[in-house]
Amino acid sequence: MKLRFQKDGTFKIMQITDMQEIPAISKDTIALMERAVLEEQPDLVVYTGDQIKGYGVTYKGKGEELEREVAQTIGKLLEPVTKRGIPFAVTFGNHDCQVGISNQDQFCHIYKRLPNCIGEQADGIDGGGTCAIPIEASDGSGRDVFELYLFDSGTDAWEGGYEAFDPKIIAWYRKQREDLREKNGMYVPSIVFQHIPMREYYEVLKRVDRGEKGAVRAYRTHKNEYYKLGETCGAGDIFLEPPSVPDVNTGEIEPQDYF
């Protein structure tokens, strides 16, 4: 399935994340999804992880029984989108695979069997939900004028916190980006979707004293530090929880990635 900008030059993406649902799906979750889809009328929906509460005790099956249970849950969760024929793409958070089914198997055996699931797993990349999705120009020329990247940002690390971002994904992305530049004669604008944020998020925050009003406590590599929104954030922005970032920075953003 090819994605294309509308004739008026617009393309609306709806991002849905952290539903963290169990087999007995909350009616409120479905009602919220229905209302959001109806109001926004997106051209594409991107699910960015923790669709299911993989660490919960409510997924009790094993083997094929577990896969059916998870597939039924995901099918119901995505029904507000799939029943309307809206294209969707998916990547994963830290909790999805904790159900006992790998991201790769969830991607290939569950999501890809649902209608209008777009995006193919990147060659040579472990897991599932790492893909590049082009959006064509509205003039019917077939030119790719925008690129969406979905990254499987990993799960919890054995020693606590989150896994380091996979360097193979970084190398794959850079090659994809350069191939597009060669094909188009210029860099193609793009957006990256991933679940676990980068360590650089702390660069847009301001470290403050513990007693300052609105200060939020961080943890792990920023243990006993307190932060507020920095000057680059908007006046109406809200900050209630510190970014949960990997302990190790594998260089997802480097100076060469700024244009």
Question: Could you read off the pLDDT of 103-130 as tens digits, one per residue?
Answer: 999 999 999 999 999 999 999 998 899 9
Which domains are seen in the chain, by residue range?
Answer: 3-197 (3.60.21.10), 200-243 (no CATH)
Residue 43 falls in which region: left (phi positive, over 0), alpha (psi -120 to 50) or beta: alpha
**Tell me, what's the pLDDT at 61?**
82
**Which of 132, 142, 141, 153 is closest to 197 using CA atoms?**
153
Amino acid at 126: D
> How far, CA to CA in Å, does 112 sit from each of 18, 120, 132?
20, 9, 15
Percent of the chain with pLDDT over 90: 84
**Tell me, what's the pLDDT at 123?**
93
3-state secondary structure 47-103: EECCCECCCCCCCCCCCHHHHHHHHHHHHHHCHHHHCCCCCEEEECCCCHHHHCCCH
Give φ, ψ of 88 to 5 degrees: -140, 155
In terms of Cβ atoms closer than 10 Å to its own Cβ (0-12, 13-18, 19+), residue 56 is middle
Check pLDDT > 70 for residue 240.
Answer: yes
Helices and strands (DSSP H and E) totals, the chain: 5, 10
Check pLDDT > 60 for residue 46.
Answer: yes
**Which of 240, 243, 162 is closest to 204 using CA atoms?**
243
Q: Which range is most confident: 82-91, 179-188, 200-209, 244-253? A: 82-91
Check pLDDT > 70 for residue 258.
Answer: no
